[in-house]
Structure 1
Amino acid sequence: MSRSARLFDLLQILRRHRGTVSGAVLAEESGVSLRTIRRDVLTLQAMGADIDAEAGVGYVLRPGFVLPPLSFTEEELHALVVGAEWVARQTDPQLAHAVSNALAKINGVLAPNMREALDDTSFYVGPTQRYVSTGFDLALYRQALREQRKMRITCMNQDGGTVELIIWPIMLGFEGTRRSVAGWCEAEATFRIFYEKYIVGAELAVDRYTRNRRTLVKEWRASDEYPCASSKVVLIADASRN
């Protein structure tokens, strides 16, 4: 691997970790020695990268530093194409338009010899037939996430009736053909997963929840209510009706 490619990979690792990461972790992920990591960090700092280094703690890359274009690999471009196709077919029109714009911006800065990979027609992501609820407007839920707005949702219950709940949306879920929203339920004072199939109505509330959404996500992931932390997956309706 060339030195320029190694420096670029190190930057990508620092960006991926976002917070402070130890030199030992950087060395392991880069496949180089700790001494090389220290030397490469000094090189990047000399190039203008805002990397804070603290002995015995690690390194953190402050946002805002952009290297001159080094180009994507062909596989990275293929991954972007497949991801863009999935977003365009599986989400809402606003996100489909956004991903199309993003690819156009990337194409504008690519080296000419790499543009063919971005226009590759080797992949096809087909549409998926799924249940579509009138109460699950993805754009509305994404607005709630961005603005940390509470939502008033109406869901079917186990008796076939409906129940109205106030939730703090913190994450959207895409599981195969199923869509869901995870959030803090004020009525039950716990985190819940609400599936599209059972949501018959939703609207933004005026109030915003004051807790930070990212903090709430971390708390949910650390709790027993998080699906990966427990065999219990909470549904708003009887699981036998899935």
Structure 2
Amino acid sequence: MRRADRLFQIVLLLDRGRAVTARELAEALQVSERTIYRDVADLSRSGVPISGEAGVGYLMRPGYRLPPLMFDADELAALALGSRMVQRWADPALGRAAERALLRIESVLPKALRHAPARDALLVPGFRLPEAMRAPMTELREAIAAHRKLRIAYTRADGAASERIIHPVGLVFWGETWTLGAWCELRGDFRSFRLDRIASVAALDAHFDGDGLLGRYLHAAQQQDDCDGATY
């Protein structure tokens, strides 16, 4: 990694609202702590407002604006591929947001980097993902962000229909399937619901405490998968 790129990465890592130790920076950038000390000192001398305290780490003081971004060919390819995945596999609103973000990035690129055959050859077909798998995503994302309870009509794999009140915590993509991770009041436990089996969604006025709920869901899903190989 070029030193200029490393300095920029240090600024990005410090611009997250929490203290970061020299060891954490060194591990993230695969350099020695001595190199981090030297780089941070040079950044400070150049006017980047970095505060440091022994035993605590470095912290970026509020109000600093990052310089304009520049990307290399592989970074642009990754961004383009990610944008196409979102456009093909997520809900339309998120897909449009991904397209706008990519257009905004491309608008400030040098002409030589705007069109690259290798990047254009990274294709993401969307025809294998049925519309029913994406249809409820916008409403589900809004409920997750607001910690709002939902009432859903759901059909299990065996065809049995039920109505559930759930606390939605996350959307998970498994390659060809989207599932909603949630606390199910009916079962008193975490459950994963395939989006194409959700017949209807109704947002309730009630909210839930979402603090730490996503982590608990992921732990429960991992435990179940380790025990019986369950597919969500």
Normalised by the length of structure 1, the TM-score is 0.80
Structure 2: gaps of 5 or more residues: none
| Shift, 1:32, TM fit | 2.4
Distance 1:227 1:64, change over 3 A: farther
Match of 1:218 in 2: 215
Match of 1:196 in 2: 195
Partner AA of 2:221 in structure 1:
Y
| Shift, 1:7, TM fit | 0.2
Structure 1: gaps of 5 or more residues: none
| Shift, 1:77, TM fit | 0.3
- Give distance in 2, aligned partners of 1:181 and 1:131: 16
**Which segment is superposed worse, 225-234 or 134-143?**
225-234
CA deviations on 1:169-223 (whole Å, 9 max, x unpaired) are 11101111111100122233322211124322212112222333xx2212333x3
- Conservation of the 8 A alpha-carbon contact between 1:150 and 1:209: yes
- Conservation of the 8 A alpha-carbon contact between 2:23 and 2:33: yes
Alignment size in residue pairs: 232
Partner AA of 1:85 in structure 2:
R
Partner AA of 2:213 in structure 1:
L
| Shift, 1:71, TM fit | 0.9
CA deviations on 1:104-130 (whole Å, 9 max, x unpaired) are 211222234332349942222112424
Match of 2:32 in 1: 33
- Pick the aligned partner of 1:227 from 214, 222, 230: 222
- Conservation of the 8 A alpha-carbon contact between 2:136 and 2:195: no
**Residue identity (%):** 33
- Conservation of the 8 A alpha-carbon contact between 2:87 and 2:95: yes
- Conservation of the 8 A alpha-carbon contact between 2:164 and 2:186: yes
**Where in structure 2 are the equivalents of 1:41-60 lying within 5 Å?**
41-60=40-59
- Conservation of the 8 A alpha-carbon contact between 1:84 and 1:99: yes
CA deviations on 1:150-183 (whole Å, 9 max, x unpaired) are 1111112476432211111111011111111001
CA RMSD of aligned residues (A): 3.1
- Give distance in 1, aligned partners of 2:5 and 2:146: 38
Distance 1:113 1:68, change over 3 A: farther
Distance 1:2 1:90, change over 3 A: closer
1:165 corresponds to 2:175:
no
- Conservation of the 8 A alpha-carbon contact between 1:135 and 1:201: no
| Shift, 1:226, TM fit | 2.4
**Which segment is superposed worse, 165-174 or 107-116?**
107-116
- Give distance in 2, aligned partners of 1:193 and 1:157: 11
1:103 corresponds to 2:102:
yes
CA deviations on 1:60-83 (whole Å, 9 max, x unpaired) are 446764322241011000111111
